[in-house]
Amino acid sequence: MVGLGNPGADYSRTRHNAGFLVVERLAEKWRAGWSYEKKFNARVARAERDGRRVLLCEPQTYMNSSGDAVGAVVGFYRVPLSKVLVVVDDADLPLGELRLRPAGSSGGHHGLESIEQRLGTRNYARLRVGIGRQAGARQITGYVLGRFDSTEAKLVDKVLNVAADQAECWLTAGIQKAMSQFNGVVNGSETEREAK
C-alpha cells in the first residue's frame, strides 16, 4: 500500500501529502513503525493483517518520481499488481470525497504518471482523496502545496480515518466491497455510510 507525497518538513501535512497522511494513519492504527530503506528510497512500515504481510510505503523521491520507489518495492518483493493500492490526493474531487478505482488514467497527477511509466501499466488500484481546489484559480501548485487550514481540520481528520478504513476494507474484503461501502462524500454519520 503506497501513500504519495513529498518528503521533508516543508511539505508535512500539505494537501499534496494526503496519501502520506492516510498510510501514516494506518501505520498508527496497526502499530507499525516506519524505517527508511535506502535501496527503495522510501519509508516502509511492515504489518501483519489477517495472516498476511502488508507493506506500507512512502516514496522519498518527491512526487514526480514516485514511480522509481514504487517500481523498486514492487520488483523487489514481486508484488502482483492486484495487491498494489496507491493513495493519492486529487484536486478535481472536493475536500471530503473519496474515490477508489481498480485502474484508470493519471488524471494529470504527476505521481500517478510516474508510477504508470515505471510499472508500464495503469492496472493498479488507486484511492483518490479529494482536496478540492481554489475557486477560479487556474494555477493550483501553491494551493496543493499549502497546508489544510484550521476550518478544514476536523473534516480532514474524519476523511483520513475513513480513507484508512477504506484501504483496510480493500485489503480484507476486496475492491468491490471497498468501493461500494466507502466511495463518495464523507459525512459526519457512520450509520449513514453503513446504510448505503
Which are the catalytic amino acids? 16
Q: State the chain's maximal CA–CA distance in angstroms.
A: 49
The residue with cell 484508512 is 164
Half-sphere exposure of 3 (CA within 13 A, CB side): 30
Written as nine digits, the cell of 111 is 505521481
Euclidean distance between CA atoms 15 and 131, whole angstroms? 6
User: How far is C-alpha 110 from the geometric centre of its chain's CA atoms?
Assistant: 14
If residue 49 lies in a helix (H) or strand (E), which one and from where to where?
strand 42-49
Written as nine digits, the cell of 164 is 484508512
Half-sphere exposure of 107 (CA within 13 A, CB side): 14
